[in-house]
Chain A
Amino acid sequence: MTRAMANPQTIAAEAAPARWQDYVVLLKPRVMSLVVFTAVTGLVCAGAPISPVLGAVAILCIAVGAGAAGALNMWFDADIDRLMRRTAQRPVPAGRVQGADALALGVTLTLCSVMLMGLALNLLAAALLAFTIFFYAVVYTMWLKRATAQNIVIGGLAGALPPAVGWAAASGTAPLNAWLLVALIFFWTPPHFWALSLTAQEDYRRAGVPMLPVTRGEAETRRQILIYSLIFVPLALAPAFTGLGGWIYLAVAAAGGAAFIALAVRLLVRKARADARRLFGFSILYLFLLFAALLGEHLASVQPLALRL
């Protein structure tokens, strides 16, 4: 593995001084917002009585843990981030923050978030949170990302785990319904990321990251997007039949799922980049709506469909 790191001291001397906002950017706040949202859904769906303050602390721990994983990712990936348009302005490749500082921030926040989760909530939630950070920072970032085109398929587990962490924080257990939410995000990730990678494959090629469009070509990527979409959409319907989702959830999952598959088919047939961008955008909206429907139903105490049948 070649890591073409420029001398960090030279860069730091040339770059603007690090502001506190640069350290916030290291925590990937946009990714964090989706993590928080899915974790809150898991926490609420668990249906366990929990002090609102402890619930908020659990979500804070998950958010900070996700941020720590982001900082570790930006530390390790600075050399390839520098080569890609989308990531070149991140604080470490741009020279505003030294790599060692990003590493220190990531390690410190990991320790704080996992320890606080263990003290305030329970050991299962703390262990799941620690595993999530390890999986993203080490398994995905250090082992898979530069080694295989399946990087985001396997690595997607890290992004998928927050609902299970939230569920475990509230109830001390992680039953099948919690893992169903994990599976849902796990199978959502490949179509989502491959749609993005179709629009940014020159960047990945330049940085030597073996994303699917780079290693297997655009046609194979579009085919795989459709295959994963056909697995993902039935999974998205499943919570309506396992005592988790109600009729609102089923309606959202069915209508959005039909649109999701239609967009994946259109991408396969028309081969246009605009269709890849459209699928990427819609995938975010669809996942948001699925979890919003579950969250709304549980907050409004809508009876799950499976209990009515």
Chain B
Amino acid sequence: MSDPKAESEPARRARNGRNLAIALGLIAFVIIVFVVTIIRLHGNVAAPHRF
């Protein structure tokens, strides 16, 4: 007897696609924050703020 709660194949594929999109989005966000940090650090070292 099949499990009535079992996920259909299209639903599984859709879920995998959503998971992959979220993973790629998060990785891209982390890389962007890292690159921005390096660039801002570089700029502040080259021209330090005067207090």
The CA of A53 and the CA of B36, in the complex, are separated in Å by: 8
Interface size of A as a range: 10 to 19
Per the 8 Å Cβ criterion, residues 180-194 of A in contact with B are: none
The answer to whether A17 touches B39, judged by C-beta atoms less than 8 angstroms apart, is no
- Determine whether A18 belongs to the interface, using a CB cutoff of 8 Å to chain B: yes
The answer to whether B32 touches A23, judged by C-beta atoms less than 8 angstroms apart, is no
Q: Looking at the complex, which one of A17, A20, A57, A119 makes contact with B10 (CB distance below 8 Å)?
A: A17
Q: What 1/0 mask marks residues of chain A from 118 to 150 whose CB sits below 8 Å from any chain B CB?
A: 011000000000000000000000000000000
Q: Looking at the complex, which one of A20, A57, A112, A116 makes contact with B18 (CB distance below 8 Å)?
A: A20
Report the nearest A residue to B38, measured CB to CB.
A53
Per the 8 Å Cβ criterion, residues 35-50 of B in contact with A are: 35-36, 39-40, 43
Interface size of B as a range: 10 to 19
- Determine whether A54 belongs to the interface, using a CB cutoff of 8 Å to chain B: yes
Report the nearest A residue to B11, measured CB to CB.
A17
Given contacts A17-B10, A60-B32, A112-B29, contact A120 B40 (CB under 8 A): yes
- Determine whether A262 belongs to the interface, using a CB cutoff of 8 Å to chain B: no
Q: Which residues of chain A have C-beta atoms less than 8 A from B17's C-beta?
A: 19-20
Most buried by A among B8, B35, B36, B40: B36
The CA of A119 and the CA of B32, in the complex, are separated in Å by: 11
User: Can you offer 12 A-B residue contacts whose CB atoms are under 8 A?
Assistant: A16-B10, A17-B8, A18-B18, A20-B20, A20-B21, A53-B35, A57-B32, A112-B29, A116-B33, A116-B36, A119-B33, A119-B40
Which A positions have Cβ atoms within 8 angstroms of B? 16-20, 23, 51, 53-54, 57, 60, 112, 116, 119-120
